[in-house]
Amino acid sequence: MFTIGRLCTGPAQENAVHNFAANAPNASSSPHRAAMEIGELFTRQWAIEDGSTDRELTAQVRAGAISRVARGVYRLGPGFGPDPEAVVKSLKVRLSHESAAAWYGASLITAPDRLHVTATRCRGRWADELPGVRFHRGQLDPSEVRVVRGIPITSPIRTGLDVARSLPLEHSVAALDSLARRGVITPAAMQCAAAALPNGPGRRAAVTAASLIDPLAESVFESMGRVRIVTAGLPAPESQVTINDRDGMWIARVDFAWRAYRLVLECDGYEFHGTREAFERDRRRWTALIRAGWRVVVVTWRQLMDEPDYLVDVLSDLLV
């Protein structure tokens, strides 16, 4: 699965989704489905794969239904905030934190509401007044800066550390999982960098987040669920597990499994149930797992977001 940004839960976001869907050429399929599942941000690749064209995307940008955030990345609604390239180059700062993570292609639970940049500590305070920009101050070694698609940006490791030190654990791990999945960082490199941080604010959070990175996580949905399971003190599951029957015949590939307990956990996202065929296929797969002696737990995005204790309560009863 893949998810980027926040699933639309408020009235304003829901209206944006419906406006986008109503104006889109294929409103009954890709735009509405993608917008509802991946929230405020989506990529050109996903839109193209779902049947949209570049011309249609351009038309939606001009109509104000969507806006371009970065090259190949869009969000619902009209554009907001300053242009990253203009801010970084004119103020001689570096794109950093969540904004840098998004520039590298990270999946974020919540889209940044401001552009995050890092400036040197000696910089005057006047820059804090720039609307739509969050200034962080810190010294950046030349090795901690890259130029990506023409913009100076913090290196992948420095970006990961900044994200881990500034975001809640579920949010930071989701971003780090997606960067590791894309090959931008490795768990070992992040763990080494976090361990090398001096004692101070954010070090413990960085070490914890780095220890939880799983490149096999396929969505922020899965990352959030896994973090919630582990931090509750429950046994850590295996990710993306292939399950065969007693004769060695393939049954399914599941999101999470605890082999010792013959227990499967599936993160049931809307994106896979856009058609009746997909809905029926998943039910048949879960039935096959049960027939093979596995217990199957299914959690939805809404349950994860609206009932934070639900998943842990269910698994606590079963992992005994």
pLDDT of 26 reads 38
* pLDDT confidence band for 311 (50 / 70 / 90): very high
Cross-strand bridge partners of residue 67: 75
pLDDT of 270 reads 60
Shared-domain flag, residues 93 and 184:
yes
Answer positive or negative: Cα dihedral of 312, 161, 44, 79.
positive
The residue among 38 and 184 whose pLDDT is bigger is 184
Out of 101-115, 177-191, 303-317, least confident range: 101-115
Shared-domain flag, residues 105 and 61:
no
Where does a domain end: 44, 76, 108? 76
pLDDT of 129 reads 58
Mean model confidence pLDDT for the chain: 82
Q: What is the pLDDT of residues 153-173, one digit of tens each?
A: 999 999 999 999 999 999 999
Where does a domain end: 42, 76, 110? 76
Shared-domain flag, residues 35 and 99:
no
The residue among 42 and 318 whose pLDDT is bigger is 318
Where does a domain end: 187, 217, 247? 217
* pLDDT confidence band for 174 (50 / 70 / 90): very high
* pLDDT confidence band for 86 (50 / 70 / 90): confident
Asked if 165 and 205 count as a contact pair (C-beta separation under 8 A), the reply is yes
Percent of the chain beyond pLDDT 90? Answer: 55
Q: What is the pLDDT of residues 136-155, one digit of tens each?
A: 988 899 999 999 999 999 99
Asked if 79 and 67 count as a contact pair (C-beta separation under 8 A), the reply is yes
DSSP letters, 167-209, are S-HHHHHHHHHHHHHTTSS-HHHHHHHHHTSPSSTTHHHHHHH
Shared-domain flag, residues 92 and 213:
yes
Q: Does residue 194 sit within a domain?
A: yes
The CATH code of the domain that includes 290 is 3.40.960.10
Shared-domain flag, residues 92 and 71:
no
CA distances from 184 to 4, 5, 141 (A): 16, 19, 19
Shared-domain flag, residues 184 and 237:
no
For the chain, how many structural domains are there in total? Answer: 3
Shared-domain flag, residues 100 and 201:
yes
Q: Does residue 268 sit within a domain?
A: yes
| Dist. CA 152–CA 96, nearest whole Å | 9
pLDDT of 44 reads 81
Average pLDDT over residues 250-262: 96
Q: Does residue 101 sit within a domain?
A: yes
Shared-domain flag, residues 49 and 68:
yes
Q: Does residue 223 sit within a domain?
A: no
Shared-domain flag, residues 198 and 302:
no
Average pLDDT over residues 301-319: 95
pLDDT at 43 over 50: yes
pTM of the model as a whole: 0.74
Shared-domain flag, residues 264 and 195:
no
The residue among 265 and 49 whose pLDDT is bigger is 265
Q: Does residue 51 sit within a domain?
A: yes
pLDDT at 82 over 80: no
pLDDT of 33 reads 42
pLDDT at 31 over 50: no
**Of the candidates 137, 144, 90, 134, which has an alpha carbon nearest to the alpha carbon of residue 118?**
137
Out of 59-73, 86-100, 246-260, 295-309, least confident range: 59-73
**Of the candidates 99, 93, 127, 95, which has an alpha carbon nearest to the alpha carbon of residue 114?**
99
Q: Does residue 146 sit within a domain?
A: yes
Asked if 218 and 2 count as a contact pair (C-beta separation under 8 A), the reply is yes
Q: Does residue 224 sit within a domain?
A: no
Q: Which domain holds residue 241?
A: 232-318
User: Which backbone phi and psi does 145 adopt, to 5 degrees?
Assistant: -125, 135
Q: Does residue 6 sit within a domain?
A: no
Shared-domain flag, residues 102 and 71:
no
* pLDDT confidence band for 268 (50 / 70 / 90): confident
In the block, tokens 């070090």 appear at: 203
Shared-domain flag, residues 137 and 191:
yes
